[in-house]
Chains A and B, each alone.
Chain A
Amino acid sequence: MRVLGRRDDHAWSQEHLSHYVEGDLSWLARRRLELHAEECPDCSRGIRAVRALLRLMHATADRSGAAPASIFDRVRADAARGETDQARET
């Protein structure tokens, strides 16, 4: 069975660029993609694009800002109701 250098390498590589970057490919599959990418500008560029995409997404992590001060409002109201109920029972 010929695993490396197959005719469908390009389509396969394009679908597995993210797996490659994530480290989710077996050694053989990794070699298959690397050998193809060495000769394929599209796939070589694809690897760089996926890596850049991951960097860009990671860089957006802190853009949402701080959580609003109101986030505990319902918890506090619920706790206060609980205390009132408890006081009524005693």
Chain B
Amino acid sequence: MTRSLTTRRPVQTAERDLVRGAQAGEVAAFEQLVGEHADRLYAVAVRLVVDRTEAEDVVQESLLRAWRGIGRFKGHSMFSTWLYRIAVNESNRALERRLRRGVAIPIDEEFVQIPAPAHDGPASQAEQEELRHGLDTAIASLAPPYRTALVLRDIEGLSASEAAKIAGVGEAAFKSRLHQARLKVRAALDDTALIAAPI
């Protein structure tokens, strides 16, 4: 289930050209370069800050930082890894600001009310919704470093190695966070419902 940014979209000449264009100040090149990742970046930000409006702000600010800092991108890592790392850092800054203001983490209702697949009967739909609501709440309750590990590896499906680079930690530390996060999330859910869930 690993969804590597590297294998999903290997380094191509086209990407290098777009990076050069963006470094030369071409907004269109930058937008094209980043556009492919925009939906995933937004999804990660929504998961990390647990609020759509704040996630939009996080992504806007991340892209501004990436635009202003594109000259420092030397191609030592994948462009996507570099970009995701900026977004994760910006999400963490947003969470720190929220913590300083003493604001609790909201659970975005629109975010958690997910329609179940159409082939399910009414009972199964309700159960599945409850399970997903529980999952969202459990993930939102994790401390940011653990949430980041879970979101990058288990939700986004990135390889542990790539996700560790994005999180800015070594792979061993990343995996330790990931396993702890899974333990906590599983403890918050009902095993029977999990196993029976029609996924």
Name A residues whose Cβ lies closer than 8 Å to a Cβ of B.
Answer: 15, 18-19, 22, 24, 45-46, 48-50, 52-68, 70-76, 78-79, 82
Q: Compute how far the CA of A46 lies from the CA of B186 in the bound complex, rounded to whole angstroms.
A: 9
- Once A49-B191, A58-B155, A74-B64 are accepted as A-B contacts, the answer to whether A18 and B41 lie under 8 Å apart by CB is no
Interface on chain B toward A: helix, strand, loop, or mixed SS? Answer: helix
Name the interface residues of B157-199: CB closer than 8 Å to any CB of A: 157, 160, 175, 178-179, 182-183, 185-186, 189, 191, 194-195, 197, 199
- Once A48-B195, A56-B194, A75-B31 are accepted as A-B contacts, the answer to whether A18 and B60 lie under 8 Å apart by CB is no
CB <8 Å contact, A71 and B63: yes
Q: Which residues of A lie under 8 Å from residue B157 when comparing CB positions?
A: 58, 61
Segment at the interface with A among B9-17, B42-50, B99-107, B118-126: B42-50
CB <8 Å contact, B39 and A67: yes
CB <8 Å contact, B186 and A53: yes
Name B residues whose Cβ lies closer than 8 Å to a Cβ of A.
Answer: 1, 25, 27, 30-31, 34, 38-39, 41-43, 46-47, 55-56, 59-61, 63-64, 67-68, 111, 114, 131-132, 135-136, 150, 154-157, 160, 175, 178-179, 182-183, 185-186, 189, 191, 194-195, 197, 199
- Once A72-B31, A75-B30 are accepted as A-B contacts, the answer to whether A58 and B1 lie under 8 Å apart by CB is yes
Cβ-neighbour of B179 out of A22, A67, A79, A82 (below 8 A)? A22
- Once A24-B175, A56-B194, A79-B25 are accepted as A-B contacts, the answer to whether A67 and B42 lie under 8 Å apart by CB is yes
Nearest-CB distance from A81 to chain B (Å)?
11
Q: Which residues of B lie under 8 Å from residue A62 when comparing CB positions?
A: 43
Cβ-neighbour of A55 out of B27, B132, B199 (below 8 A)? B199
CB <8 Å contact, A57 and B154: yes
CB <8 Å contact, B60 and A74: yes
Q: Compute how far the CA of A85 lies from the CA of B69 in the bound complex, rounded to whole angstroms.
A: 19
Q: Which residues of A lie under 8 Å from residue B175 when comparing CB positions?
A: 22, 24
Cβ-neighbour of A53 out of B64, B111, B185 (below 8 A)? B185
CB <8 Å contact, A73 and B199: no
Q: Which residues of B lie under 8 Å from residue A74 when comparing CB positions?
A: 60-61, 63-64
